[in-house]
Structure 1
Amino acid sequence: MSSGVRIPGHQCTLVHLLTRENARPRTVREHPAGWWLAVATVCFGAFMGQLDASIVTLTYGPLRTQFHAPLAAVEWVSLDYLLTLVALLVPVGRLSDTHGRKLFYLYGFLVFTAASAACGLAPTLTVLIGFRVVQAVGAAMLQANSVALVTTSAPRPRMRAALGVQAAAQALGLALGPTIGGLLVTTIGWRWVFGINVPIGVIALIAGYYLLPRTHQRARPARFDWAGLALLATSTTALLLAVSAVSGLNLPLAATAALTALTPLAAYGLVLRERRTAEPLIDLRLLRAGALGFGLLGALCGYLILFGPLVLVPIVLVGHGISPLWAGLVLTALPAGFAIAASGAGAVLPGRWTDRRCCVVGAVTCMAALAAMLAAPLATPWLIPLLMMLGLGLGLYTPANNTMIMSGIPAHATGAGGGLVNMTRSLGTAIGVAMVTLALHLATGTVGPRLAVAGLTATSLFMIIPIVIHPRSRGAAGGDVGGQ
């Protein structure tokens, strides 16, 4: 049967055409390197998402100037995006496990690309924040499936290498983001920071259609946990709104107090709900193994440490009179180090090194870099090597930690598991943005940046403590290897 319009016995409906996953061309799926083509296609989404995450921090200054808004308001250009990801990554992962990971991935590109164009045309800060929510819906469809598509495309022996390549693509997006963002903001304006996503998205859509495998191992349809979603969104949004209010967002004191009280209540309600419902939004059974829970804690702390400096460094350097372009170039050292370690560590390190050892060495490197940053001046000559060192530590830690997390997740639940990983990362990123903003608001002069770095240094302890007290497995997840 051709991939055209007819099914024996009746005409294909438009709904069927829009909800089916097409097979890859035979030459692609039978080629020995066909799985690498699928991984490379997933890297488009990994690159795009991280480019957007790092590039947006360079717009904070121009947005504050154009819309006459405080930093606590402008940070919601990032926070509303991240909160949407936190709320949607797990449910979208579960839905894609049931209805098709390739399908959700392609529609994610479509939504993300269209919303990026709309963000670039936004007339007010409020409209921009609204379009960022739509953009995050598309990003959730991409990110919830990225790890699952890699783990179900790559052979088991190549799992770590494939996840390392994906991490390197993320790091490349992070690395180019500050430089490209600084260049665009300095030359043609902040709106093109969002417009740059459009051509990348078009290319990725075409590549994904022809190179991504169909989903063969699907989970059974389940009733959607709307109450769990509402409680998850309420707890995370209330938390970050309360932190933003303390950071300078203009909210009444009573509202801030209510949000502070609502956060633990909604979180506790979420745990109770997920324990009792037959079809939970977050499958707490996956977390019963302490290794997985500790791995997710490490992922949260790692991304908090990665994104905290992406907000802090441009604000500090531009405040010292340095141009956004130069600030972006300095900041590039962090994700560049991440990319080097994530893609090259496997070729350099001894083959007997386990994922656990990589995590320990990476975490210790991060702690050393942040401790040195706390002692040294936050100025250009010192920041470049220390940011590079921090990136190298994170690039060594993250792929190994991801491999250990995914090795504990059943093949049929890789979408939900991958969504859980990415939800944790997004929550860590959001907390990193909010923590830095809070530190800068609480203390003036050089004290605020020092306070932010101190918080990042303390967070790095939680990357290594779980590894020491709970040794984890070192296998790799598998699944739809060689699917069409």
Structure 2
Amino acid sequence: MNDSSSKSVWRDRALLIAITLSSMLAPLNSTMIAVALPRLITEFQTNVAHASWLVTSYLIAMATLQPIAGKLGDRWGRRSLILGGLICFGGASLAATWAPTLEMLIGFRLLQAVSGAIAIPNGVALVREVVPDHQRATQFGLISSAISLAAAIGPPIGGVLTSLAGWRAIFFVNVLLILPALLLGWWAFPRSKPSASSRPFDWGGSLLLASVLASLAGFLSQMRQGGLPVSPGVAVAGVVALMAALFVYEGRHPDPIIQLRFFRKRAFAAASGAIALSNLAMYVTLLSLPIFLSERAGWMDSQIGFVLAAFSGLMIVGSPLGGRWADRWGRRIPTVAGLALFTLGLLPLVIQAETVPLAFLLPGLAIAGSGMGASMAGLQTSAIESLSPKEAGVAAGIFSTSRYLGSIVGSSILAGILSSSGNFHLVFWMVGSTAFLSVLVSLGLRDRPLSEAQS
């Protein structure tokens, strides 16, 4: 019994390490490429608008495909999808090192995003299935901390590798994460039979959902870049028409990808709404602060980097702590408290951004970062627990899509405000209001899974 128990413990640890490593791939590659963009523009003799599709197409694909991939995992099992996604990500990364044109590089980046979108929600769902509920938020907190760390170290890693060996070298970093994740996952991921279902898979709904999210994200992205091929009214009408077609089609399908009943679950709707709002506020803060401090306050790059480190560094620390608290005190209290701290820490920017001294700005951003980090595990755990384990994949996918859409919408609004008026005061008021709204929405979370609350 002792040998069997010990083997089970090591298998669970290997499973969690493999999922953590696979979850780090997406944020690492989304931030690492940003540093290499100037070198790519020069080598491929292109412009910023074209090169930015290396980032934009990646984010759109990640936001679009995760609910579909999660639904496939709910039906077909998670092991093969996660391992296949990791292999495909590795192949796309190695192919990207050879890409002779910008168009081919964008294609390989898109393949990376598709692979990541397959692996990530099914990894989250596997944690939901394997980890006991009294330890679940702690594990999600550790994974969130690793994701934040990957996003933070992406730019310096990208900068060093690009300077020493050229932009192609940054794609080799993925092998260091993928190989151990594959080896550990091959041993630790449980084998499961596909779930028996007489209902056909919702391929039509998958296509419509992908069209809606890609059109919305593409519309916002093109607005940000000021290059819409049609009038804004026509573009909005097209997106609305696709949404209407999706809702009508899904309402008639026996097993739809997006079931409106998911959002009738208070905890799921609250978690999805709160992550979208808080991520919008966080992303706008990260994007706007360097511009504001450089243009308006005349700060040096080193000073700006120090300020952003106070924000992102405390997120890394706050995530595992928030996970432990969510397991000890329930999901709602630590999450609401974390988002309240996030909002409180942003107040110096909201009240008087132009004249706020460093002595107030740094502690404020540290409080905001720690609060944002502390809220992540509770939000994710609450969203995944609000639906049955058989629907954990699609729940994880929709939750992740909400996070990405918050980032995409936030960056688009920021670009619209700065291009039209350059009013940073309005930007930070929007950030503070959105953060406060996320606190109110998070009040709808449950402390524990519904089955436990009723028992």
Which TM-score band (shorter chain)?
0.7 to 0.9
| Residue-by-residue CA offset, 1:377-404 (whole Å, 9 max, x unaligned) | 5999576544433221111111111121
Structure 1 position 472 matched with structure 2 position 446: yes
> Post-superposition shift, 1:471?
5.0
1:329-408 matches, cutoff 5 A: 331-345=308-322, 353-374=329-350, 375-377=352-354, 381=358, 384-408=362-386
**1:131/1:32 CA distance change after superposition, 3 Å:** closer
TM-aligned CA distance change 1:378 to 1:385, over 3 Å: farther
What is aligned with 2:130? 153
Amino acid of the residue matched to residue 170 of structure 2? V
Amino acid corresponding to residue 147 of structure 2 in structure 1: Q
- Contact in 1 for aligned 2:215/2:239 (Cα 8 Å): yes
Give distance in 2, aligned partners of 1:63 and 1:457.
36
Q: What is the match of residue 216 of structure 2?
A: 239
- Which of these residues, 442, 448, 457, is aligned with residue 432 of structure 2? 457
Contact 1:156 1:476 in 2 (8 A): no
Q: Report if the CA contact (8 A) 2:326-2:377 is conserved.
A: no
CA deviation vs aligned residue, 1:177-225 (integer Å, no higher than 9, x gap): 2332343455544443333223221222122112222236846374232
Q: 1:49-448 maps to which residues of 2 (within 5 A)? A: 49-63=26-40, 72-185=49-162, 187-215=164-192, 218=195, 220=197, 222-254=199-231, 256-313=232-289, 331-345=308-322, 353-374=329-350, 375-377=352-354, 381=358, 384-444=362-422, 447=423
- Give CA deviations for 1:145-169 in whole Å, capped at 9, x if unaligned: 1211111121232112222222122
Q: Is the 8 A contact 2:331 2:381 kept in 1?
A: yes
Deviations 1:330-364 (CA, angstroms, capped at 9, x unpaired): 534333211211112456x5986332111211111
Displacement of 1:463 in angstroms is 1.0
SS at match of 1:31: helix
Q: Which moved more, 1:66-75 or 1:127-136?
A: 66-75
The structural deviation recorded for 1:410 is: 0.6
Task: Find the residue that maps to 1:419 and give its secondary structure.
Answer: helix
Identity among equivalent positions (%) equals: 26
Give 3-state SS (helix, strand or coil) of 1:223's partner.
coil
- Residue 258 (structure 1) shift: 2.3
* Equivalent AA in structure 1 for residue 63 of structure 2: V
The alignment yields a C-alpha RMSD, in angstroms, of 3.3
Bigger share in helix: 2
Distance 1:28 1:373, change over 3 A: farther
1:119 aligned partner, one-letter code: A
- Counterpart contact for 2:322–2:376, Cα < 8 Å: no
- Residue 70 of structure 1: CA displacement? 5.9
Contact 2:347 2:432 in 1 (8 A): yes
Cα distance in 2 for residues equivalent to 1:378 and 1:108: 48
Q: CA deviation at 1:103?
A: 0.8
Is this contact kept in 2: 1:38–1:153, CA < 8 A?
A: no
Quick one: distance in 2 between partners of 1:111 and 1:380? Answer: 48
Q: Would the aligned equivalents of 2:314 and 2:373 in 1 still touch at CA under 8 Å?
A: yes
Task: State the aligned residue count.
Answer: 446
| Unaligned residue ranges in structure 1 (runs of 5+) | 1-25, 479-484
Tell me the CA shift for residue 297 of structure 1. Answer: 0.8
Q: Is the 8 A contact 1:119 1:131 kept in 2?
A: yes
Distance 1:280 1:395 in 2: 33
